[in-house]
Amino acid sequence: MSTDYIDSYMEETKRIVDTVPREEIRKGIEILKATRDNGGRLFILGVGGSAANASHAVNDFRKIGKIETYAPTDNVSELTARTNDEGWETTFSEWLKTSRIGSKDTIMVFSVGGGSETTSLNIVNALKLGKERGASVISIVSRTGGYSKQVSDACVLIPVVNEDRITPHAEGWQGVIWHLMVNALNA
pLDDT over 70 at 29, yes or no: yes
Mean pLDDT of 12-16: 97
- Dist. CA 43–CA 16, nearest whole Å: 26
Q: How confident is the model at residue 2 (pLDDT cuts 50, 70, 90)?
A: confident
Mean pLDDT of 152-177: 98
- Dist. CA 147–CA 10, nearest whole Å: 29
Structural domains for the chain: 3-184 (3.40.50.10490)
The answer to whether the predicted template modeling score (pTM) of the entire model surpasses 0.95 is yes
